[in-house]
């Protein structure tokens, strides 16, 4: 039975209440120009006010996405300078290290000075407006400083998650031609060290274009420094002037690139621009979390993912909030880490992923009960559908039924949240991201693209542009159009399946393309396949998702070996660690089955539908296998399931 949690005390003092949401949604639908003009004016500080608002079309003939095109602003000035007069001494970032209590507090004034100083360091190292800078860092204050310093001078940052391998890092550096890389000697995660600088050294063997590496001293490990190329961060900033004017940037100037996996080919460099992205991250932070002056906000994501960009750094800082940067993991030193830290830092709003909730739920309520969590007002979820059991535990045990849960649906491509409840306005249903934010026009379409009305299920598309949407794939505008706008002409295709109920609530059902969502992280099946096939003993590989109790989805790989190679447990282990080193630990297959052959159509297409069913353990009804070139393959696969 479906449970409904009506808006309760959350409505008290909320910025947007029930009637407010209805009014704003209708207003944005009726007059997008007027709505976004007002929003952009009141949310951001502009150097040159814009006169144009929306200039967008998703149609092939005049495809364009442009917002506030003649306006000028600077992101760092919006996140720092404009707060100095009113809240210079307020804490901007609370950094919490891997060890509990290893904490650093940085005020807006201090952060402003650090950013200006480092922006001058970037300039001194030849970085100019429009240049790309790659960051490969732990969750340390310097990561935020480096991001904001780039934005201050108009450089484009590209953050690569510290869990990615040297090869993955090298690909991302090459794709966007970065000449400068920022890293740390090592990272610390769950008591273990991550050899970030050593990984950079390996990557740079394939990146001759990189001239400078700036290295933060995080652990003090003994690392190799390349003469003439590598410079310590602390040495570089010493004595540098803390005065650095914020570069006026056009609203449509690139802000950052973030690589994300798709259903085909190499990861795409998702490009976001200055005005639209900042407006979206700032406004959604303010409204979805109903942020109130002085509150402490903790989003547990890493800045290597989009959630870290929008809701650890840009959204909170644009609002003058206090944001927590966490450099640890949920189960270190024990399973009470989140809750103990919430008490110690006085966290009011906590935003994490279903995979973390499920992992902690398995350890029992005792770890939660050790903490008071009195400071908590609101809980959030992001990254994948949250199953009702996990939702209930989060609500009942963590939030003690006091705290609404905002289940926020969005993507790297969308820049920020598109579908989510507003705590003061929306009744909650566990497992549903509920309703679109004002200005967001979701639709469900069938395979032919026909728009489905009412309570129904289909493919989730967005019918019109919103300011925070990505503008292009770096260096490949054609791929941008093909990937997102060609499947259903005139609409942005999300790649997600979705159900809409009779109350107009949206229930995301998961990816409908060849993307697997592992612990809230996107993995393209094609990427894992090409890593496997790169192994000298592998002839062919097919990768699909399978249900996984904690990760949501796990990676199931079918591998055909070269003639003369024999399957063994050793080879299985070797292939798994091969994928780890090719892409990173998150891509390592959870299950790996040696398959004498793969099910293919006569035209040679692998029938993934069948592979998915076998991986799910649902072998009773494999559907129509008559189009297979060799139907016998299926029996072998079923028999060999791992």
| Nearest distance from C-beta of residue 382 to ligand 6R9, angstroms | 5
Is residue 535 marked as binding?
Answer: yes
32 binding ligand 6R9? (CB under 6 A):
no
Q: Quick one: 58 or 409, whose CB is closer to ligand 6R9?
A: 409
Nearer to ligand 6R9, 216 or 382 (CB): 382
Q: Residue 409 in contact with residue 431, Cβ under 8 Å?
A: no
Is residue 522 a contact residue for ligand 6R9 (CB under 6 A)? yes
Q: Is 331 assigned a ligand-binding role in the annotation? A: yes
Nearer to ligand 6R9, 93 or 288 (CB): 288
CA angle 421/424/430 to nearest 5° reads 40
Q: Under the criterion CB under 6 A, does residue 433 sit at the interface with ligand 6R9?
A: yes
User: What 3-state class would DSSP assign to 530?
Assistant: helix
Q: Which helix (H) or strand (E) holds 124?
A: helix 108-124
The CA-based angle 173-179-181, given to 5 degrees, is 65
Q: How far is the CB of 435 from ligand 6R9 (least distance, A)?
A: 13
406-to-197, 214, 496 alpha-carbon distances in Å: 38, 38, 19
Q: Say whether residue 410 binds ligand 6R9 (CB under 6 A).
A: yes
> For the chain, how many helices (H) and strands (E)?
21, 31
Q: Is residue 409 within the footprint of ligand 6R9 (CB under 6 A)?
A: yes
Query: Could you tell me the smallest distance in angstroms from the CB atom of residue 310 to ligand 6R9?
Result: 8
Pick from 207, 200, 148: nearest CA to 177:
207
517 binds ligand 6R9 (CB under 6 A): yes
CA-based nearest residue to 415, from 272, 318, 546, 512: 272
Q: Which of 77, 278, 382, 541 binds ligand 6R9 (CB under 6 A)?
A: 382
The DSSP result for 66-87, as a single string, is EESTT-EE-HHHHHTGGGHHHH
Residue 547 CB, nearest approach to ligand 6R9 (Å):
15
The CB-of-431 to ligand 6R9 minimum distance in angstroms stands at 9
> Applying CB under 6 A, which part among 274-282, 407-415, 437-445, 535-543 lies near ligand 6R9?
407-415
Out of 269, 308, 495, 589, name the contact with ligand 6R9 by CB under 6 A.
495
Instruction: For the CB of residue 258, give the shortest distance to ligand 6R9 in the complex, in Å.
Output: 9
Interface with ligand 6R9 by CB under 6 A: which range of 114-122, 140-148, 359-367, 377-385?
377-385
Residue from 141, 508, 532, 543 touching ligand 6R9 (CB under 6 A): that is: 508
Among the listed residues 171, 319, 322, 412, the single contact to ligand 6R9 using CB under 6 A: 412
Closest by Cα among 528, 619, 538 to 579: 528
Specify the residue for token string 């409505």.
Answer: 11
Calculate Rg over the CA atoms of the chain.
24
Residues 6+ apart with CB under 8 A from 419: 408, 409, 410, 433, 434, 435, 436, 437, 440, 442, 506, 508
- Helical H segments across 321-472, by residue range: 337-345, 354-361, 366-369, 388-393
- Does residue 407 bind ligand 6R9 (CB under 6 A)? yes
580 has binding-site annotation: yes
Q: Judging by beta carbons within 10 Å of its beta carbon (0-12, 13-18, 19+), is residue 597 exposed, middle or buried?
A: middle
CB of 283 to ligand 6R9, least distance (A): 16
**Number of residues located near ligand 6R9, criterion CB under 6 A:** 24
Q: Is residue 53 at the binding interface for ligand 6R9, with CB under 6 A as the rule?
A: no
Closest approach of ligand 6R9 to the CB of residue 139, in Å: 17
Q: Is 408 in the site for ligand 6R9 (CB under 6 A)?
A: yes
Length of the chain: 642
Least distance CB 1 / ligand 6R9 (angstroms): 21
Residue 54 marked in a binding site: no
Contact residue for ligand 6R9 among 276, 304, 336, 385 (CB under 6 A): 385
Question: H or E stretch including 592?
Answer: strand 591-594
- Please check whether residue 127 is in contact with residue 180, taking contact to mean a CB–CB distance below 8 angstroms: yes
Known binding residue 496? Answer is yes
In the complex, the smallest distance separating the C-beta of residue 288 from ligand 6R9, rounded to whole angstroms, is 11
User: According to the annotation, is 511 in a ligand binding site?
Assistant: yes
Check the annotation: does 434 bind a ligand: no
424 belongs to an annotated ligand binding site: no
Q: Which stretch binds ligand 6R9 (CB under 6 A): 41-49, 144-152, 159-167, 494-502?
A: 494-502
Question: Among 182, 170, 325, which residue's Cα sits nearest to residue 259?
Answer: 170
CB of 474 to ligand 6R9, least distance (A): 16
Residue 383 marked as a ligand binder: yes
**Per rule CB under 6 A, is residue 383 in the interface with ligand 6R9?**
yes
Other Cβ atoms closer than 10 A to 535: 18
Classify burial at 225, counting beta carbons within 10 Å of its beta carbon; exposed 0-12, middle 13-18, buried 19 or more: middle
Tracing tokens 């969502």 back to the chain, one arrives at: 517
* Residue 238: CB atoms within 10 Å: 10
**Does residue 260 belong to the site contacting ligand 6R9 (CB under 6 A)?**
yes
Nearer Cβ to ligand 6R9 (385/423): 385
Cis peptide before 444 (omega within 30 of 0): no
* Helix ranges, 222-314 (H): 233-237, 274-288, 306-308
User: What residue numbers does the annotated binding site for CoA cover?
Assistant: 189-192, 307, 331, 519, 580
User: What residue numbers does the annotated binding site cover?
Assistant: 189-192, 307, 331, 383-385, 407-412, 496, 511, 519, 522, 533, 535, 538, 580
User: What residue numbers does the annotated binding site for Mg(2+) cover?
Assistant: 533, 535, 538
Residues of this chain that bind ligand 6R9 (CB under 6 A): 260, 305-307, 381-385, 407-412, 433, 494-496, 508, 511, 517, 520, 522
């Amino acid at each position: 039975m479906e449970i409904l949690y009506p808006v309760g005390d959350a409505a008290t003092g909320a910025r947007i209440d029930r009637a407010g949401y209805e009014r704003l949604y209708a207003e944005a639908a009726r007059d997008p120009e007027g709505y976004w003009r007002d929003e952009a004016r009141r949310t951001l500080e502009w150097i040159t006010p814009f006169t144009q608002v929306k200039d967008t079309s998703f149609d092939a003939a005049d495809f364009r996405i442009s917002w506030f095109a003649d306006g000028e602003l600077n992101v760092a000035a919006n996140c720092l300078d404009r707060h100095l007069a009113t809240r210079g001494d307020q804490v901007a970032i609370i950094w919490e290290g891997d060890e509990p209590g290893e904490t650093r507090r940085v005020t807006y004034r201090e952060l402003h000075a650090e950013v200006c100083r480092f922006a001058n360091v970037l300039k001194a190292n030849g970085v100019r407006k429009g240049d790309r800078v790659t960051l490969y860092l732990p969750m340390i204050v310097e990561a935020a400083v480096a991001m904001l310093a780039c934005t201050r001078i108009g450089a484009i940052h590209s953050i690569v998650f510290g869990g990615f391998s040297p090869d993955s890092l090298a690909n991302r550096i090459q794709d966007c031609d970065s000449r400068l890389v920022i890293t740390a000697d090592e990272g610390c995660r769950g008591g273990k060290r991550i050899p970030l600088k050593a990984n950079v050294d390996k990557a740079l063997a394939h990146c001759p274009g990189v001239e400078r590496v700036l290295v933060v001293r995080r652990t003090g490990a003994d690392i190799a420094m390349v003469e003439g190329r590598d410079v310590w961060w602390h040495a570089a900033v010493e004595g540098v002037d803390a005065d650095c004017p914020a570069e006026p940037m056009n609203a449509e100037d690139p802000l950052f690139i973030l690589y994300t996996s798709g259903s085909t080919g190499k990861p795409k460099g998702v490009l976001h621009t200055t005005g639209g992205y900042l407006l979206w991250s700032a406004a959604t932070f303010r409204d979805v979390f109903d942020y109130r002056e002085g509150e402490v906000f903790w989003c547990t994501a890493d800045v290597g993912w989009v959630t870290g960009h929008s809701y650890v750094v840009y959204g909170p800082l644009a609002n003058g909030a206090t944001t927590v940067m966490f450099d640890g993991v949920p189960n270190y030193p024990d399973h009470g880490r989140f809750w103990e830290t919430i008490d110690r830092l006085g966290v009011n709003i906590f935003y994490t992923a279903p995979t973390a909730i499920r992992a902690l739920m398995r350890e029992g309520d005792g770890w939660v009960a050790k903490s008071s969590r009195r400071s908590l007002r609101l809980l959030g979820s992001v990254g994948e559908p949250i199953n009702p059991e996990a939702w209930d535990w989060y609500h009942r045990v963590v939030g003690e039924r006091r705290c609404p849960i905002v289940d926020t649906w969005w993507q790297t491509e969308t820049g920020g949240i598109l579908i989510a409840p507003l705590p003061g306005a929306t009744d909650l249903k566990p497992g549903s991201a509920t309703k679109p934010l004002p200005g967001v026009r979701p639709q469900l379409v069938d395979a032919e693209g026909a728009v489905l009305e009412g309570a129904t299920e289909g493919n989730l598309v967005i019918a019109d542009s919103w300011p925070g949407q990505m503008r292009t794939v770096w260096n490949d505008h054609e791929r941008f159009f093909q990937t997102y706008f060609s499947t259903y002409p005139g609409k942005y295709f999300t790649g997600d399946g979705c159900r809409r109920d009779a109350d107009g609530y949206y229930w995301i059902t998961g990816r409908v393309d060849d993307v697997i969502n592992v612990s809230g992280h996107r993995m393209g099946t094609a990427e894992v396949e090409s890593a496997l096939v790169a192994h000298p003993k592998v002839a062919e590989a097919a990768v699909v998702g399978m249900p996984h109790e904690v990760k949501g989805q796990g990676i199931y790989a079918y591998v055909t070996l070269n003639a003369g190679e024999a399957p063994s447990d050793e080879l299985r282990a070797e292939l798994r660690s091969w994928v780890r080193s090719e892409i990173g630990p998150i891509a390592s297959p959870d299950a790996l089955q040696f398959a004498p052959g793969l099910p293919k159509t006569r035209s040679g297409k692998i029938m993934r539908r069948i592979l998915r069913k076998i991986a799910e353990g649902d072998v009773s009804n494999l559907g129509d296998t008559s189009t297979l070139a060799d139907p016998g393959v299926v029996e072998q696969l079923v028999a060999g399931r791992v």
